[in-house]
Structure formats: C-alpha cells, structure tokens
Amino acid sequence: MSQVKGETLYVALVAALRVSGKRTLAQLNAFDLAVTVAFGSTLATIMLSRDVSLAEGVVALGLLIVLQWVVTASSVRSKRFAEMVRAEPTLLLRNGEFCDETMRRERVTREEVKSARRRAGLSGPEAARAVILEGDGSFSVTTMDAPPQDRAVAGLDGARQSGNKT
C-alpha cells in the first residue's frame, strides 16, 4: 500500500467518523458490534489490498457509515424497527432463582451466571435480586439490598422471561 493511500484513507476515516457522530462505532448491541467488525474488516482490506482502489474503499466505508446511521436513526424513530435490530435484556436469575428455560434459550450456563454474580462481589444466588443478559451480551447484576430500579429488575415488561412463572 502506498503511504499516500494510507494517509488519505486515515484522513477520510477521521472526517467520516466526525460527521457521522459518536454512535457509528458504539457497541451498544450485537448489531453495532457486527457493524464495527465489518468496518474494521473493510478498512483492513482497503489498506492491504492492491485490488481495492482508494476511491472504492472510501465509498465502501461511507456506505457502512450511512447504513449504520440509517439503522440507528430508524430504531430511534420506530419501536418496531428497534425491536428488529436490537436485542432486549433477558432476565436469567430472579430473587436468587435461576430462570432455566430462559437460560437455555439464550444459551447461557449456570456457571456463566454464577461468574457474573461473583464479579459483582456476591457469594451466593440468594444475594442477587437479578442477573440480566443485556442486549450487548454483557451481564448486569442487582443485589437484594438494592431496590428494583427498572422494570427489568422488577420482572415486569422490560426483560424477557418467557416460560418462567414467578
């Protein structure tokens, strides 16, 4: 790759990211992560491949940025669209009880929930009000001594828990 191509691509990338906003490379959910990986892969291909011209590369990066902007803007404006592209939080443990059917559906083991609980400094399941698998794949843990702060922790509509009667 010529030095000029790399420098030009870098300047184009910085300019595009400044114009498109902070959300372009955010990893708030699985969709954002996929776009970020695609962005990095495209950038690497442009920089390393002699078969891809600088103009083609800039267009490809621009297309990814525009599509990311369209999807995120649409998800803010339409709840239905947001539900299609975003993963909802899922309740895995409630008031010390594992939600086995939900864990099976989400492909999460008891050991992973226990690990999340330990990372939060809790020794036993009875100390956890809730362990939630967030839309980005991370775990949130709420303790019994903390009041429910949102509907997901309270076990209402915010977190999916189908198949588990509580």
Q: Tell me the domain boundaries of the chain.
A: 3-84, 90-154
pLDDT tens-digit readout, 135-158: 878 899 998 876 666 555 544 334
Q: Which two tokens stand for residue 89?
A: 């939080």
What span, in angstroms and rounded, lies between the C-alpha atoms of 36 and 6? 19
Q: Which two tokens stand for residue 37?
A: 């990986």
Topology at the third CATH level for domain 90-154: CRO Repressor (3.30.240)
Which of 27-36, 69-78, 134-143, 149-158 has the lowest average pLDDT?
149-158
**Is the overall model pTM greater than 0.85, yes or no?**
no
What span, in angstroms and rounded, lies between the C-alpha atoms of 85 and 103? 21
Q: What's 146's DSSP letter?
A: S
From residue 135, alpha-carbon distances to 33, 89, 126 in Å are 11, 5, 24
Between the ranges 8-12, 40-44, 102-106, 147-151, where is the mean pLDDT highest?
Answer: 102-106
Q: How far apart are the first and last CA of the chain?
A: 60
